[in-house]
């Protein structure tokens, strides 16, 4: 019988600390290898942590809501040591994940989507001894997807298993879990109306209002569900103190560092996007784009890539005593999520066709909304696109993403009077532009780059061919 301590692993690249959001186990529970034991919140994402051991939970060493450094022992387990190497002479062994590991998918326990990889080795494999956590592994890549009905299919190499609902297990996505935490709702007492017993947003709101949840078949609850009151009024404290942590802390630090280290300069221009809007309508009706989301943002993304090819200096970074020119495009997409702003990027976006780019944007934004974006997906970006137009804003001057020279913004597209060949006509008009690091590029390069984006939106046929 061994006595195992599990240390908080680094589930991203360079993670230093994380908050224990919830425990999925308690002392006395018997757990299996790779069973989810807790959920943690890192600086950028919510991650479910699987157990590296089999055995019985002896003690939870960290309370929920506590932030601890990577490497801190968070639980102690007693067992026969089947999940890892034999304990050292001191009677205690610790399991940690490699720093470059890919984290488990936080909503369902699926592993992060990457390229195909060999199956995880057995615990008694001499060349790969030690506990192997789903999503960390020693090989590399794994894939996940869902089958009709919402049940996850977990794929490791060529092996595939469908995970059935487990009695007593709470299925809930990170944004819904965050909502429950904010409203003080105990998820263990909330019946899930989603597929496989998943707890949905409406279930949490119903519990917060003391009303019945919607039926599993999707019917409306007998009692009316009201969203929590917002604004000022009775029942609210005069002041609230909200700890700065997690994603808000990281965003704040990054924005201060960027704003006060890189000399920002901004250029913007109004654009007649009428042809772009016509192209979007044709693409939506085309069989080629069936099943993917087509929007003006897709054309904007393609226009940025096209303009970068004509102005490669923009795709650079300040390196102190050198300028780093990147001959590839990792296009960041700024996404507003329930947890705050995240900027995952599309790797090698310059190599994608318009259809592939549409699919990539759709996948990236959906993962961000679902709270599934992992730290590795937000690193090594070369340029960022932010679409403030979705909020009805004409334009805004954004702050550079650290390590990048340009962030491009797109405003709302509205019908406005526009002079065409000497006559005033109604046209679909938007504003494009952005902020740029003046240490790396000068005003002429910046202006040409923005003008090229505008030209591509006015004549999107330039992008196709």
What pLDDT sits at residue 46? 74
Boundary-marking domain end, from 180, 215, 241:
241
Mean pLDDT per segment of 10 residues, for the chain of length 465 residues? 80 74 91 89 77 89 89 85 39 38 36 36 36 33 36 32 52 73 81 80 80 44 44 70 79 87 93 97 94 94 97 95 95 87 94 96 90 85 94 91 95 95 96 96 96 97 84
What pLDDT sits at residue 169? 59
| Domain contains 342 | yes
| Domain contains 131 | yes
Claim to verify: residue 279 and residue 226 sit in the same structural domain: no
Claim to verify: residue 235 and residue 287 sit in the same structural domain: no
Claim to verify: residue 235 and residue 251 sit in the same structural domain: no
Claim to verify: residue 373 and residue 319 sit in the same structural domain: yes
What pLDDT sits at residue 231? 60
Sheet hosting strand 152-156, strand order edge to edge? 143-146, 152-156, 159-162
What pLDDT sits at residue 321? 92
Cα 165 to Cα 31, 169, 171, 201, distances in angstroms: 16, 8, 9, 19
Total domains, the chain: 3
CATH number reported for the structural domain that contains residue 279 in this entry: 3.30.559.10
| Domain contains 150 | no
Q: Which helix (H) or strand (E) holds 16?
A: none
| Domain contains 159 | no
Claim to verify: residue 217 and residue 69 sit in the same structural domain: no
Cα 48 to Cα 201: distance, rounded to the nearest angstrom: 19
Claim to verify: residue 85 and residue 184 sit in the same structural domain: no
Claim to verify: residue 376 and residue 437 sit in the same structural domain: yes
| Domain contains 389 | yes
| Domain contains 147 | no
What pLDDT sits at residue 165? 52
| Domain contains 151 | no
Q: Which helix (H) or strand (E) holds 84?
A: none
Claim to verify: residue 198 and residue 343 sit in the same structural domain: no
CATH number reported for the structural domain that contains residue 19 in this entry: 2.40.50.100
CATH number reported for the structural domain that contains residue 171 in this entry: 4.10.320.10
Query: Quick one: how far is CA 443 from the chain centroid?
Result: 34
Q: Is 264 a catalytic residue?
A: no
- On whether the pTM is more than 0.75, the answer is no
Cα 107 to Cα 361: distance, rounded to the nearest angstrom: 20
Residue range(s) defining the domain that contains residue 61? 2-142
Claim to verify: residue 198 and residue 128 sit in the same structural domain: no
Boundary-marking domain end, from 241, 264, 281:
241
Claim to verify: residue 404 and residue 458 sit in the same structural domain: yes
Which among 76, 97, 88 is positioned nearest to 31, based on CA atoms? 76
Claim to verify: residue 340 and residue 222 sit in the same structural domain: no
Claim to verify: residue 280 and residue 170 sit in the same structural domain: no
Identify the active-site residue in 226, 264, 350, 438: 438
Cα 20 to Cα 246: distance, rounded to the nearest angstrom: 11
What pLDDT sits at residue 17? 83
| Domain contains 18 | yes
What pLDDT sits at residue 181? 77
């Amino acid at each position: 019988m061994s006595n195992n301590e599990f240390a908080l692993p680094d589930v991203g690249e360079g993670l230093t600390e994380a908050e224990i959001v919830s425990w999925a186990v308690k002392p006395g529970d018997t757990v299996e290898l790779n069973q989810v034991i807790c959920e943690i919140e890192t600086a950028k994402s919510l991650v479910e942590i699987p157990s590296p051991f089999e055995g019985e939970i002896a003690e939870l060493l960290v309370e929920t809501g506590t932030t601890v450094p990577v490497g801190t022992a968070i639980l102690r387990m007693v067992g026969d040591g089947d999940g890892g190497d034999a304990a050292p002479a001191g009677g205690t062994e610790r399991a940690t994940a490699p720093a470059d590991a890919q984290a488990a998918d936080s909503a369902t326990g699926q592993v992060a989507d990457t390229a195909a990889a060999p199956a995880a080795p057995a615990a008694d494999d001499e060349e790969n001894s030690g506990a192997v956590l789903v999503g960390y592994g020693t090989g590399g890549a794994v894939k996940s997807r869902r089958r009709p009905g919402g049940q996850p299919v977990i794929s490791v190499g060529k092996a595939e298993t469908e995970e059935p609902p487990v009695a007593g297990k709470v299925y809930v996505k990170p944004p819904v879990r965050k909502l429950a935490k904010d409203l003080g709702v105990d998820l263990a007492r909330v019946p899930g109306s989603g597929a496989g017993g998943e707890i949905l947003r409406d279930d949490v709101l119903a519990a917060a209002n003391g009303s019945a949840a919607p039926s599993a078949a999707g019917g409306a609850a007998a009692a009316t569900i009201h969203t929590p009151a917002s604004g000022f009024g009775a029942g609210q404290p005069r002041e609230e103190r909200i700890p700065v942590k997690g994603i808000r802390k990281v965003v704040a630090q990054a924005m201060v560092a960027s704003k006060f280290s890189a000399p920002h300069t901004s250029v913007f221009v109004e654009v007649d996007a009428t042809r772009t809007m016509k192209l979007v309508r044709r693409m939506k009706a085309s069989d080629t784009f069936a099943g993917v989301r087509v929007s003006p943002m897709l054309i904007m993304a393609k226009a940025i890539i096209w303009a970068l090819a004509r102005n490669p200096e923009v795709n650079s970074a300040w390196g102190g005593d050198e300028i780093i020119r990147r001959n590839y495009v990792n296009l960041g997409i700024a996404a507003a999520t329930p947890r705050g702003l995240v900027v995952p990027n599309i790797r090698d976006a310059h190599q994608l066709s318009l259809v592939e780019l549409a699919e990539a944007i759709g996948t990236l934004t959906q993962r961000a909304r679902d709270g599934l974006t992992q730290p590795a997906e937000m690193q090594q970006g070369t340029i960022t696109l932010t679409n403030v137009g979705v909020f009805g804003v004409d334009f805004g001057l954004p702050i550079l993403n650290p390590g990048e020279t340009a962030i491009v913004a797109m405003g709302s597209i509205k019908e406005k009077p526009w002079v065409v060949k000497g006559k005033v006509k109604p046209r679909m008009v938007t504003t494009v532009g952005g902020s740029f690091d003046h240490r790396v590029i000068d005003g002429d390069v910046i202006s040409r780059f923005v003008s090229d984006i505008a030209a591509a939106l006015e004549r999107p046929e330039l992008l196709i061919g």
